[in-house]
Amino acid sequence: MSAEEITLRVARPEDAKALLAIYAPYVRDTAITFEYDVPSVEEFAGRIAHTLEFYPYLVAQKGEEILGYAYVGRFKERRAYDWAVESSVYIAQNARRMGLGKRFYAALEDILRAQGIRNLCACITCTDHPDAHQDNNSMQFHAHLGFRLVGRFEKCGCKFGAWYDMVWMEKHLASHPDNPAPVVPFSQVREKFGL
C-alpha cells in the first residue's frame, strides 16, 4: 500500500463504527489504553462529535477503508491550561509501520500551531518488563518525534493482572509569551489545511 494513496480528512460521527473496529483490539488485547470495556458505537460517535467542537479529529483513509485516526483533547479543564492539549493516535493492525503515526502528528502539529496551541502532551502506558500487552514502542516513537519525558507514575494502572506505569511526554510547538492570544477553535482554521 502506497502512502500516496492514503488521504487525511476530518472524522465524522458516522465514522464511529469503523474507528471503533480499530480501537477495540487495543482495548481487548493491550495495555496501550487503560480502558477495560469497548465503548458502544453511540458512545464513540459522541466522543468524536465532542472533540470536533473545538479540536481536530483526523482519519487516514485509502479508498473506502479507514486505516487509523488521531485527535487531541484538553489537557486539563482549568483555563490556564488552554494552550496545552493531549494527543491520541490509533492505527489499524494491518496499517502499522507505514508512517501513518508520523503523518498524523505532522498534520496535527500544523493545525495546533494555527489554533494557538503551545504544548502537545502524550499520556503513554509503559513497563519495566515488556509483555504481550505492552512493549514500550509508543515511548520510543514519541521520543523520535521530538517529545521529551516530563514525568512517570509508577504502577498506576492495573490491566490483565499486571501493573503498568504511565508517563507524560511533551513537545513545545511554539514560544510561550507572557500573554498568549486565545486559542481558536479548529473550525476556524480547518479550511486553511484543505479540511
Q: What is the mean pLDDT of each run of 10 residues along the chain (195 residues)?
A: 79 98 97 97 98 98 96 97 98 92 98 98 94 94 97 97 97 97 97 93
In this predicted structure, what is the pLDDT of residue 4? 63
Calculate the alpha carbon distances from 137 to 91, 126, 193 in Å.
Answer: 13, 9, 30
In this predicted structure, what is the pLDDT of residue 3? 55
Which CATH fold topology does 3-178 show? Aminopeptidase (3.40.630)
pTM of the complete model:
0.95
The residues facing 37 across adjacent strands are none
In this predicted structure, what is the pLDDT of residue 50? 98
In this predicted structure, what is the pLDDT of residue 136? 92
C-alpha 190/C-alpha 12 separation (Å) is 14
Where are the domains positioned within the chain? Answer: 3-178
In this predicted structure, what is the pLDDT of residue 41? 98
In this predicted structure, what is the pLDDT of residue 68? 97
Nearest in space to 175 (alpha carbons), one of 115, 91, 126, 118:
118
